[in-house]
Amino acid sequence: MSDAWNLFLLAAFVDNMPLTLFLGLCTFLALSRRTESAIGLGVAMTFVLGVSVPLNHLIYQAVLAPGAWAWAGRPELDLSYLALIAFIGVIAAIVQLLEMVLDRYFPRIHAAFGVFLPLLTVQCVILGGSLFMVERSYNFAQSAVFGFGSGVGFFVAVVMLSAIRVRLAYADLPAGLRGLGIAFVLTGLMSLGFASFTQMAAAQ
């Protein structure tokens, strides 16, 4: 149990997707102006990551990994180079399914998510989660914890940034720094703060 908790903390804070691994920055910066859109993005991200990473793990192990076809007598078949296309297909399908389910059974939530859901298909974070899962050779349980943890980390980061940017609407910034410029500087400062979490991992 403590391994799962450690992995969760690792995924959420030490290897925070936007602040440490630089993933998902486009939507991170574009949708962090208002807290409502930040929360919506964070929740959608957490859900899709939590579902897609373990699912992609299963598909990778069953079909694509070297030696996956040993049961059929072809152990030398290594289809891992197709992982990219496979993962994208799975992610697109999950997002589409989620949208259909929400639209049918939870129309209010669907309306609240608005345009984020289809946007998530092309998110570096979602694909990055699956790719890191492959690179770090997680098993199924670890994939689930990692996916969920990454989503939570993204949620925390984007809500924090939006809270600051909402306040900055009243600040007297130089014209060149307004909007994107100051968002970068803020994200850099937050990233510096999150870098202190690496000590947490090292202490284990």
Footprint of another protein on this chain (CB under 8 A)?
Answer: 19-26, 29-30, 67, 70, 75-76, 81-82, 84-85, 88-89, 92, 118, 121-124, 126-128, 131-132, 135-137, 169-170, 172-185, 187-189, 191-192, 195, 198, 201-202
Q: Which is nearer to another protein, 16 or 46 (CB)?
A: 16
Tokens describing residue 104: 């049918």
Q: How far is the CB of 136 from another protein (least distance, A)?
A: 7
Measured over the CA atoms of residue 186, residue 123, residue 129 and residue 84, the dihedral's sign is negative
DSSP 147-184: HHHHHHHHHHHHHHHHHHHHHHTTS---GGGTTHHHHH
Q: Which is nearer to another protein, 39 or 80 (CB)?
A: 80
In this complex, which beta carbon is closest to another protein, that of residue 86 or of residue 108? 86
AA letter at 124: C
Least distance in Å: CB of 29 to another protein? 6
Rounded least distance, CB 128 to another protein, Å:
6
Task: Count Cβ atoms below 10 Å from residue 137 Cβ, excluding itself.
Answer: 9
184/29 Cα distance (integer angstroms): 8
Distance in Å, CB of 182 to another protein, minimum:
7
**Residue 117 host element (H or E):** helix 116-120
Q: Which is nearer to another protein, 67 or 107 (CB)?
A: 67
Q: How would you label 24-61 residue by residue, b for 16+ Cβ within 10 Å and e otherwise?
A: bbebbbebbbeeebbebbbbbbbbbbbbbbbbbbebbe
Residue 101 or 169 with smaller CB distance to another protein: 169
- CB of 46 vs another protein, minimal distance in Å: 18
Nearer to another protein, 108 or 204 (CB): 204
Q: How far is the CB of 127 from another protein (least distance, A)?
A: 5
